[in-house]
Structure 1
Amino acid sequence: MTQATALSLTALPLADALAQFRVEVSGVGMTQIPFSAVTFRDNGMASEDMAAIVRADLERSGQFRFVEPLPGGMDENSRPDLAPWRAKSSDALLTGSISKLSDGRFDVRFRLWDVVRGQDLGGLSYPASAAELRLAAHKIADFVYEKLTGEKGVFATRIAYVSKAGQRHTLLVADSDGENARAALTSAEPIISPSWAPGGRQLAYVSFESRKPVIYSHDVATGKRRLLANFRGSNSAPTWSPDGRQLVATLSISGNAQIYAMDADGGSPKRLSQSSSIDTEPAFSADGNTIFFVSDRGGSPQIYRMGAQGGNPQRVTFAGSYNISPSPSPDGRWLAFISRVGGGFKLHVMELSTGTVTALSDTSADESPSFSPNSRLIIYATRDRGQEALMTSTVDGRIKTRLASARGDIREPEWGPYAR
């Protein structure tokens, strides 16, 4: 099979069966902000329900509870009587409108009200093409989230994951809610281990198109890619440093799988781990000073950490005989990982300052956890009700969201960073 027949590098819309996701939110959080979102004036001229997208985003975060709005139309220019909204126990109110611009785009405007204090919390206008309406809604949700929680939202970020349907492997990039999925790469051979570069413009991944694992970087906007690692033996598990200047990966140049660092622009790899065992799945801490990794040097797979320059490995996980897939949170507080429990594989999170470990999932085929950029949510792949699925969970495990495709295996999600 030639490379031309095995691969498609153009970014094409995915077929409806794979592009559409169903969002199901379950669980109850400890404290949730009650809010209302009124249907945007003239929303009927657009293909997306802006208020509904904002609602779904905020509910998925686990920190908001939707209150059905009062009847009657409003937009961002309305000065609402907030007393009836207080009587409905709504703490915040979102209004807005959509209009058509002369260039064919839409002008999406909104305003947020603090119902309790009777304050106008501000609003913005987003010009957007029809294809950008969902992104505009995610940006509005980010605005609301930040105004009401004081923390940055993640709804306008993206996720990457791999889908397999028959013999077709597809690397996909989608909105943070799983919608608007687009194929970045398709291949007749496996694609694994996607890893976002800082800024969200590039993905590194492993392709088997050469009948062996080889690491590439891929420009998400243009589809252009660059070979990063095709050394003797296996090249796998790439991850970027927080400054984007280098990658670490698992290479078997020495005969057994060890962790190496490579300059992002190429060059000879530098060996970081030194053992006769298998060392793999490296992941940088947010400050770039530590690398978490998996090793069976103690007899079974466990998570260790070492300095970014290598040396002095220290074991991190001690409970259970099989712990893999470390994912440190961007705020440095948490480590998500997968632990084998009673023959199943479950998502766990460790508070790094105390070593306290909490099981988060009710499923038993979890894999590949990845934190949202604000460290509040974890995305992971699992099998739920007989289907492969992407799930998100709050760090306390109380709110879970299922992003379930119609068909195909779904694997290895990776939550993208904030755009630069």
Structure 2
Amino acid sequence: MLQFAKKYFSLLASVLVVMLSMAGMSSSALAQMNIQITGVGQSLYPIAVMHFKDEGKLPSSVTDIIRQDLARSGYFKNTENGNASESDEGTPNYKSWSARGADALVVGSVVQTSAGQFEIRYKLFDIRKSESLGGLNINSSADNLRAAAHKIADDIILKLLGERGIFSTRLSYVIKEGKRYRLVISDADGQNIRNAMNSGEPIISPSWSPDGKKVAYVSFEDRKPVIYVHELATGRRIPLSNQKGNNSAPAWSPDGKKLAISLSKDGNTQIYSINADGTGLQRLTRGYTIDTEPQYSADGRYIYFTSDRGGNPQIYRMSAEGEQVEGAKRVTFKQGFVTSPRISPDGKYLAYIANIGGAFRLYILNLATGDAQALTDGTSDESPSFAANGRYVLYSMKVGGKRVLAAVSVDGNSKQVLSIPGSDVRQPSWGPFMD
């Protein structure tokens, strides 16, 4: 067991080294995120998104952002890619649009209300049913146009597909250039990058609070791993855990009142819970092996975690009150070496990384049936994170020797690669819905 523990620690160390190669923002890191979409399939919903009238008043095009959002969803294809606009007043010619191959139509206009302030109006029509589905009027400043466009795309998804869109959610990840590390926050498409934390020492394991207002992460700025909770709006942060040894792997409870963390303060790494203000530390596992990478279940009743208690690392589940309340039960059986558990927001799926002949590959497990499938054919996948609607998994992969972000649908059919030219981008975490 000691030999295996050394091997497992060696693996964790190598994973850590990989995760550390990721934050820092020089001028090239401020460049636009490149997005490549593949494998979206043939059965896409044809929608005509027309350029908004008087959009030339804006410093950037909201129409282009809406089109890009809908394309990235994997559900839509835009039938009108030009610069033509369509009136958002009156009723469209449904037969004409149907003949042009559109099942839905988006039109809009822009009105400048004052210096740097605009009202963006949009309407959505169901061409097949020959009816209006309503729309939105959004007041936006010139520097907040992306948020307005994302909100419109989310409304289109909701009205046409009946599910909440994720374009207004945010990502956190770490970029490394040279010897500088930065934790950054971006829109869900990887654009509009904002710096949250800048350090000459590594930053790893960002984890969003359920309300999307805070991010917990591990910083090495004191030359040892310390867990911080960072309030994004103010920049204020508190050291959540600075125990002896390693402080790692923070994960929020669904109500935001607690975090599960991994500590080695008493020797071997074990799972603890701690209040969000840093009080009330409680040990949850008491084994003699390695227990790490905790994740709360969607209902908050359980904690999933990685442990080598059975030999090789696998995923286990225990009561959120600790394994003394309900003993840990093994969850993964399909592969011999499994790490990085992540639970979907609806609690139905478990994403994880499996070592398949030396290749680290993203898998998804149906917790009800026990069926597991590979979502990628990768060799160096890391850090899975579910989108707020549970439809996609964000992760890190290697392309051409550089780390990039990727997102794959839970059925494996649609994939997106997000990269910043010249930068290593790793350790992603997908934020929650913002009310």
TM-score computed with the length of structure 2 as normaliser: 0.91
Contact 1:334/1:349 (8 A) holds in 2: yes
Shift, 1:30, TM fit = 6.5
Aligned length: 409
Contact 1:18/1:406 (8 A) holds in 2: no
- Partner of residue 388 from structure 2, selected from 373, 388, 395: 373
CA distance in 1: counterparts of 2:227 and 2:102, whole angstroms: 50
Contact 2:63/2:149 (8 A) holds in 1: yes
CA distance in 1: counterparts of 2:302 and 2:112, whole angstroms: 50
Q: Are the structure 2 counterparts of residues 387 and 232 from structure 1 closer, same or farther at C-alpha, using a change threshold of 3 Å?
A: closer
Contact 1:170/1:184 (8 A) holds in 2: yes
Alignment correspondent of 2:414: 399
1:199 is aligned to 2:211 = yes
Shift, 1:13, TM fit = 8.9
Contact 1:61/1:394 (8 A) holds in 2: no
1:346 is aligned to 2:358 = no
Contact 1:34/1:66 (8 A) holds in 2: yes
CA distance in 1: counterparts of 2:55 and 2:133, whole angstroms: 22
Write out aligned runs for 1:115-194 (5 A): 115-194=127-206
Contact 2:51/2:83 (8 A) holds in 1: no
Alignment correspondent of 2:285: 273
Alignment correspondent of 1:313: 328
Alignment correspondent of 1:419: 434
Percent identity of equivalent pairs: 47
Amino acid at match of 1:381: S
User: What 5-or-longer segments of structure 1 have no aligned partner?
Assistant: 1-11
1:231 is aligned to 2:243 = yes
Alignment correspondent of 1:332: 347
Q: Are the structure 2 counterparts of residues 103 and 71 from structure 1 closer, same or farther at C-alpha, using a change threshold of 3 Å?
A: closer
CA distance in 2: counterparts of 1:201 and 1:61, whole angstroms: 25
Amino acid at match of 2:129: R
More divergent stretch after superposition (396-405 vs 377-386): 377-386
CA distance in 1: counterparts of 2:90 and 2:26, whole angstroms: 40
SS in 2 for 1:294: strand
Contact 2:175/2:425 (8 A) holds in 1: yes
Alignment correspondent of 1:82: 94
CA distance in 2: counterparts of 1:265 and 1:300, whole angstroms: 35
Contact 2:29/2:423 (8 A) holds in 1: no
Q: Are the structure 2 counterparts of residues 128 and 14 from structure 1 closer, same or farther at C-alpha, using a change threshold of 3 Å?
A: farther
Q: Are the structure 2 counterparts of residues 340 and 18 from structure 1 closer, same or farther at C-alpha, using a change threshold of 3 Å?
A: farther
Amino acid at match of 1:148: L
CA RMSD across the alignment: 1.6
Contact 2:25/2:175 (8 A) holds in 1: no
Contact 1:19/1:181 (8 A) holds in 2: no
Contact 1:13/1:182 (8 A) holds in 2: no
Amino acid at match of 1:84: S
Query: 1:60-85 CA distances to partner (integer Å, 9 max, x unpaired)?
Result: 12122222268853132242112122
Shift, 1:344, TM fit = 1.2
CA distance in 2: counterparts of 1:369 and 1:198, whole angstroms: 17
1:96 is aligned to 2:108 = yes
User: What 5-or-longer segments of structure 2 have no aligned partner?
Assistant: 1-23
CA distance in 1: counterparts of 2:287 and 2:99, whole angstroms: 65
Shift, 1:180, TM fit = 0.2
- Partner of residue 299 from structure 1, selected from 311, 321, 327: 311
CA distance in 2: counterparts of 1:185 and 1:226, whole angstroms: 13
Alignment correspondent of 1:109: 121
Alignment correspondent of 1:23: 35
CA distance in 2: counterparts of 1:78 and 1:42, whole angstroms: 17
Amino acid at match of 2:207: S
CA distance in 2: counterparts of 1:139 and 1:383, whole angstroms: 31
Shift, 1:44, TM fit = 1.6
Amino acid at match of 1:96: G
Alignment correspondent of 2:271: 259
Shift, 1:387, TM fit = 3.0
SS in 2 for 1:383: strand
SS in 1 for 2:114: coil
Contact 1:111/1:122 (8 A) holds in 2: yes
Amino acid at match of 1:134: R
Shift, 1:104, TM fit = 2.6
More divergent stretch after superposition (91-100 vs 30-39): 30-39
SS in 2 for 1:109: strand
CA distance in 1: counterparts of 2:128 and 2:394, whole angstroms: 33
Contact 1:19/1:180 (8 A) holds in 2: no
1:214 is aligned to 2:190 = no
Q: Are the structure 2 counterparts of residues 154 and 252 from structure 1 closer, same or farther at C-alpha, using a change threshold of 3 Å?
A: same
- Partner of residue 58 from structure 1, selected from 54, 70, 75: 70
Q: Are the structure 2 counterparts of residues 232 and 72 from structure 1 closer, same or farther at C-alpha, using a change threshold of 3 Å?
A: closer
TM-score computed with the length of structure 1 as normaliser: 0.94
Alignment correspondent of 1:382: 397
Q: Which runs of 4+ in 1 moved over 6 A?
A: none
CA distance in 2: counterparts of 1:72 and 1:135, whole angstroms: 23
Contact 1:184/1:220 (8 A) holds in 2: yes
